[in-house]
Amino acid sequence: MKKKISSECWLCNSKELEIAKLSNLDETKQESSFVISGRDYGITGEMHHCQNCDFLQWSDMNDVLPFYENTMEDPTYESLRKGRSLQARKVVEKIIKYKKQGKLLDVGAGSGILVEQAIKTGYKAEGIEPSRWFQEKATELGLPVYLGSLPHSNLRGPYEIVTLIDVIEHVSNPIELLLEIKKITTTNSIIVIITPDRGSIPAKLLGWKWWNYKPGHIGYFNNKTIEFATQKAGLKQIKLCYRPALYYPLGFIAERVKLYLPKFLQFPIPQFFQNLILPLDLKDSLMGIYTLK
């Protein structure tokens, strides 16, 4: 018997939702599943697919903030800081092509990795971050990252650049979030969004085993739905491409690849190579640059 879904689509408000995948989440360890560098690939709640706009969402998870505010500690993420700084640097280098200077706000700034790179490049940058643990890391490093989410009383906009890197897939109100961002921008501002692309080749090849299907991600975009969401929020796309390469230590890549390989193909990486940082260009996350309509 077909289960009746009472929720509506977070993007288009249609009630035409169909179950795309049943939950395989262990409810007892939900909190630990939310860490950014978690390895619960292919683990999700019950996913609903909108027949009207093609969006995919975990309808029952309508407030993830409590998971991030107090509980999220992610030492693995911090240990990857060197590689992540390189990633952030590449993102900032893309942004420069569209906006050479100005005030930049990174929403969901984590421990301030992008803020740090933006400041080094000459932007006046700051961030906001809901997780206390991450925000404290940023403060320890002297980076201007405020605790909280939008709207935020410490912010002194307007900002010429707002970045939303790996954030929009974590919220159940993507349109509202974009509208909040618009309020702190100005006519010539640009908004940069990076989010996993469920229409990408890796996503299609791996199906529900794709590494971006994980409990912390509750809404999944493709080029069609990101365009729909941004248009609806009154944004105009200037560019849509894949994100620049990610940079990880070889040891980390090997450990994650192992999760996809049969035992006989798994071999240890010599210690000497473990910390070697390599680019990983997966072409499975969209990078969109937008301006106000």
Q: Which residues bind Zn ion (CB under 5 A)?
A: 9, 11-12, 14, 50, 52-53, 55
CA distance 30 to 44: 10
Please spell the DSSP secondary structure of 52-108, one letter per residue: TT--EE-TT----HHHHHTT---HHHHHTHHHHHHHHHHHHHHHHTT--SSEEEEET
Task: Kindly state the smallest distance separating residue 12's Cβ from Zn ion, in Å.
Answer: 3
Task: Kindly state the smallest distance separating residue 175's Cβ from Zn ion, in Å.
Answer: 11
Task: Kindly state the smallest distance separating residue 166's Cβ from Zn ion, in Å.
Answer: 22
Residue with Cβ nearer Zn ion (125 or 168) = 168
Residue with Cβ nearer Zn ion (12 or 179) = 12
CA distance 7 to 15: 7
Residue with Cβ nearer Zn ion (196 or 219) = 219
- Two tokens at 189? 């501002």
Residue with Cβ nearer Zn ion (224 or 236) = 224
Residue with Cβ nearer Zn ion (55 or 290) = 55
CA distance 270 to 262: 20
Task: Kindly state the smallest distance separating residue 226's Cβ from Zn ion, in Å.
Answer: 13
Task: Kindly state the smallest distance separating residue 51's Cβ from Zn ion, in Å.
Answer: 8
Residue with Cβ nearer Zn ion (49 or 99) = 49
CA distance 269 to 273: 7
Task: Kindly state the smallest distance separating residue 197's Cβ from Zn ion, in Å.
Answer: 17
Task: Kindly state the smallest distance separating residue 265's Cβ from Zn ion, in Å.
Answer: 40
Contact yes or no for 227/240 (Cβ under 8 A): yes
Residue with Cβ nearer Zn ion (48 or 84) = 48
CA distance 82 to 73: 18
Residue with tokens 């990610």: 246
Contact yes or no for 163/260 (Cβ under 8 A): no
Detail the DSSP E strand segments found in the chain: 17-21, 47-50, 56-57, 103-107, 124-129, 145-147, 159-165, 185-196, 219-220, 235-242, 246-249, 277-280, 285-292
- Two tokens at 30? 């939900």
Task: Kindly state the smallest distance separating residue 125's Cβ from Zn ion, in Å.
Answer: 34
Q: Which amino acid is at 287?
A: M
Residue with Cβ nearer Zn ion (47 or 192) = 47
Residues 6+ apart with CB under 8 A from 9: 15, 16, 17, 50, 52, 53, 55, 57
Pairing of strands 145-147, 124-129: parallel
